[in-house]
Amino acid sequence: MEPKISVRNLNLFYGDNHALHDINLDIKKNTIHALIGPSGCGKSTFLRTLNRMNDLIDNVRITGDVNVEGVNINSTGTDVVSLRKKVGMVFQRPNPFPMSIYDNIAYGPRVHGIKKKSILDGIVEKSLKQAALWDEVHDRLGKSALGLSGGQQQRLCIARLLAVEPDVLLMDEPTSALDPISTLKVEELSQSLKEWYTIIIVTHNMQQAARISDFTSFFLNGYMVETDNTDTIFTTPRDQRTEDYITGRFG
């Protein structure tokens, strides 16, 4: 099967700082792929290359290919807005818009031209159900999203992303600001969503990576040290540096 995302010889520079070195990685469709490594190792920078979020940072230069379903997203003809609709991102801290729960979910579809209320109603309900939030908020859709708990806000942000029908979900430490119960709900949600989506998650939580991911890549100092199925990475890694990290000898 062709990989959903294929990265070849990817290098990224912040000015003179060489932040990512010759990354080669395939991401399989309908899997959860975890990116692990100590702070500053390049995993979040790599995640942002997958939908060109690094374009928003001054003085960034990228070489190499990032292919999503066989199309190089770094080519000059790429429609970045369409790319970010297809490859969406959930950030470390929940960032609901200061508007109602309903309008948060309907925002993206409206931007993309959907105005009919009956269609928007269906999208809002479907997205909230996919994000395992419908039962908790269906009777207060007109209330401010800022009144939700932190965990609910993060699932709302996931629902808002699902409303524009992406193919890939990028998650940058999506549970780092959440309590254990909310973290569990997001983890369970992620595992259910891989039936429809390909998910790449950056996490500092080794237990989380081991619990929910199918594949894991270990980053260190801007290099991808190794990648394999998650069970192998956590039981019989090939590189001593990987073993040292996951057993807590550094990081």
Per-residue pLDDT of the chain (251 residues), as tens digits, is 789 999 999 999 999 999 999 999 999 999 999 999 999 999 999 999 999 999 989 999 999 999 999 999 999 889 999 999 999 999 999 999 999 999 999 999 999 999 999 999 999 999 999 999 999 999 999 999 999 999 999 999 999 999 999 999 999 999 998 999 999 999 999 999 999 999 999 999 999 999 999 999 999 999 999 999 999 999 999 999 999 999 998 87
**pLDDT the model gives residue 217:** 98
Backbone φ and ψ of 55, nearest 5°: -60, -25
What is the greatest pairwise CA distance in the chain? 57
What pLDDT is attached to residue 232? 97
pLDDT of residue 2: 85
Helix, strand, or coil (residue 29): coil
Place of tokens 């997958």: 50
User: Tokens standing for 49?
Assistant: 């290359």
CA distance 100 to 59: 37
Contact 218, 227 (CB under 8 A): yes
Q: What domains, with CATH codes, occur in the chain?
A: 5-246 (3.40.50.300)
| Alpha carbon distances (Å) from 69 to 46, 82, 214, 219 | 18, 14, 20, 24
Q: What is the pLDDT of residue 1?
A: 72
Answer whether 109's CB lies under 8 Å from 115's CB: no
**Residue 20, SS3?**
strand
Residue 80: Cβ within 10 Å count: 13
Amino acid at 78: T
Tokens of 64: 């190499």
For residue 111, give every residue at least 6 positions away whose Cβ sits within 8 Å of its Cβ, in sequence order, or none: none
What is the model's pLDDT at position 18?
97
